[in-house]
Amino acid sequence: MAVSSDILQRALDREKQSRKEAERILEQKATELYSLTQELSKSKHQLEILVENKSSEMSSLIQNIIDPYLLLDLNGYIINMNKASSDLFSEIQSDIPEGRLNLIDLVPIDERSRMAVAFQQMVEQGYVKDVQLSVKNKSGSFIHLLINASIVYNNEGVATAAQGIARDITTLKHLQDEKDKLFEDIEIRNEELNEYAHIVSHDLKSPLRGMNSLIHWIKTDKSNTLSENSLSMFEMIDKSILKMERLISGILKYSTSVIENEDQELVSMETVIRDVMDVIQVPDYITVNLPEKLPTFLVSQNRIDQIVQNLMTNAVKYVPKVDGLITWHYKELEDKHQFAIEDNGIGIAKKHHDRIFQVFQSLTDHKDSSGIGLSIVKKVVKSLGGDIWVESEEGKGATFYFTIAIQNRNI
C-alpha cells in the first residue's frame, strides 16, 4: 500500500524542520560549551596559582621546621625532606646512595631492622609515637632521636603517604642521665649522713650516760657524807646531762627531718588534728576548737603530722592550767592552704618572733624543751612550699600561722 505523496512531503518537511531545529540547538550548546570552557580554563589557571602558592608555602614551612622532617611514600621512598633531615643523614651515613632514596638506605645497617619494625607498626596503626632510636654519627658518638610519625590520608580516607619528624634529644638525654646520677649520689649521701648523724649522737650520748652512772654511784656511795649543797649540785649536773642528751636527740631529728622524699597522699586535716590530740593526750582542762571547714589535700602524711604535733604540743604546754583554749583556723588562699593555731597562753614578746624559729632557741627553761621543735617545724613547712610565722603579744596568747602549697590535683 503506497503512501500518498502529500503525506511523504509533509513528513519530509517535518524532518527538515527538526534537522534545522537540532542544528540550532547544537549551535547554541556549542556556544555555551565554549564560554564554559573559557571559564573553566580561567578557574583552572587560578587554581594552579593557588596550588603553586600553597606548595611554596608548604615547602618553606617544611624547610623551616627545625627538626628533621620527612615525607615518604608507603614503601619508605622519600618524597620530600627538609634541610635538617639531609643534614642529619649526612651526619650519620657517609655514603648516601644516588637517585631515588629509601629511608632504610639512610639508616645505619644495625638500626635498619628496628626502623623497619617501627615503619610497619606505623602503617598498621596509622602512627608511631615517641620511638627512640640511637644512631652513631661519623665521629662515633651517639645521636639520640625521638621519632613521631603518622600516615597521611587523602580526602577519601585512603593512605597515600607517611610523614615523620625526628627530634634530636641527645642533649636532653645527657641532662637526664646526669640528673639521674645526681639523684643517685644524693640518695647515697643522704644515707651516709643519716648513718653519720646516728653514730655521732650515739658517740656523744655514751660519755653522757657514763657520767650519769658515775654520779648515780657517787650519790649512792656517799649519800651519808655529802652535804646538802653538794647533793643539789649533783642534782644540777643531772639536769644538765639530761638537757645535753635532749639537745643531741634534737640535732639528730633536725638534721634528718626532711631528708627523705616522701610519698604524697590525700590527707584530711581534721583527722590529722584529732589523731594528734589522741597521741599527745590533751588534758581535760583544755578546750580545742576546730573550724567548720578543714581541707583534705595532697601532702606527705608524716610531715603534716610532724607540724601539727609540734604546734599542738607547744600550745598545750603554754596555755593556762585553768580554762586553756586552743583554736584552729583555716583559710584557702589562691595557691596555698593557710592554717592557724591560736592559744590563750603566755604569749611571746615581739622581739622574739623571729628567734623562736631558729635552732636551740627556747624562750623558757621548760623541762622538756630542747629548743629545736619550732626550727624543725619551719624546715618541714618550707619543704612543703609554705611558710610559718607567729602573731603574739606577751601575756595575750599566740597564734601560729603556717601555709602549705596546694599541689596540682591532677598529679
Partner 1 sequence: MKGIVFTEFLDLVESKFGLEMVDKIISSSDLESGGSYTSIGTYEFSDMLQLITNLSNNTDISVDDLLLIYGEHFFSVLKSSYPAMLAEYSGSLELLSSIENHIHVEVRKIYPDAELPSFEILSRSDDSLRMVYRSSRAMHMFGLGLMRSTFKHFNQKSDIQYEKIEEDGSVVEFKVQLLS
- Least Cβ distance, residue 53 to partner 1 (angstroms): 32
- Candidates 14-22, 33-41, 67-75, 154-162: pick the segment binding partner 1 (CB under 8 A): 14-22
Is residue 382 close enough to count as binding partner 1 by CB under 8 A? no
From 25, 33, 159, 236, residue interacting with partner 1 (rule: CB under 8 A):
25
Residue 12 as a binder of partner 1 (CB under 8 A): the answer is no
- The nearest distance, CB 112 to partner 1, in angstroms, is 48
User: CB count, 10 Å around CB of 198?
Assistant: 12
List of residues 6+ apart from 409 with CB closer than 8 A: 298
CA distance 315 to 327: 10
Question: Is 22 near partner 1 (CB under 8 A)?
Answer: yes
How does DSSP assign 126-142, residue by residue? Answer: SEEEEEEEEEE-TTS-E
CB atoms within 10 A of CB 74: 14
Interactions with partner 1, residue window 339-378 (CB under 8 A): none
Query: Does the footprint of partner 1 cover residue 293 (CB under 8 A)?
Result: no
Burial 155-168 (b: 16+ CB within 10 A, else e): eeeeeebbbbbbeb
CB closer to partner 1, 8 vs 182: 8
Q: How many residues bind to partner 1 according to rule CB under 8 A?
A: 18
Question: Is the Cβ of residue 18 or residue 37 nearer to partner 1 in the bound state?
Answer: 18
Q: Which stretch binds partner 1 (CB under 8 A): 25-33, 185-193, 260-268, 283-291?
A: 25-33
Reference 251, options 310, 305, 204, 190; nearest CA is 204
Cβ atoms within 10 Å, residue 242: 14
- Give the three-state DSSP class for 348: coil
Q: Specify the 3-state DSSP secondary structure of 246.
A: helix
Burial of 329 (0-12, 13-18, 19+ CB in 10 A): middle
Of 29 and 293, CB closest to partner 1: 29
Task: Please give the grid coordinates belonging to residue 245.
Answer: 642528751
Q: Which stretch binds partner 1 (CB under 8 A): 13-21, 92-100, 213-221, 259-267?
A: 13-21
**Is residue 335 a contact partner of residue 406, using CB atoms and an 8 Å limit?**
yes
Between 23 and 177, whose beta carbon lies closer to partner 1? 23
Q: Which is nearer to partner 1, 14 or 331 (CB)?
A: 14
C-alpha cell at 114: 628496628
Closest to partner 1 by CB, 7 vs 36, is 7
Segment contacting partner 1 (CB under 8 A): 17-25, 100-108, 140-148, 371-379? 17-25
What is the closest distance, in whole angstroms, from the C-beta atom of residue 22 to partner 1 in the complex?
Answer: 4
Contact call for residue 26 and partner 1 (CB under 8 A): yes
Applying CB under 8 A, the span of 9-17, 218-226, 328-336, 368-376 interacting with partner 1 comes to 9-17
Q: Should residue 36 be labelled a site residue for partner 1 when binding is judged by CB under 8 A?
A: no
Give which of 246, 314, 304 is closest to 282, Cα–Cα: 314
CB nearer to partner 1: give 19 or 293. 19
Rounded Cα distance between 78 and 105, Å, is 11
Q: Toward partner 1, which CB reaches closer, 19 or 44? A: 19
The answer to whether residues 152 and 159 touch, using CB atoms and an 8 Å cutoff, is yes
* Beta-bridge mates of residue 161: 152
Which residues of this chain interact with partner 1, rule CB under 8 A? 3-4, 7-8, 10-11, 13-19, 21-22, 25-26, 29
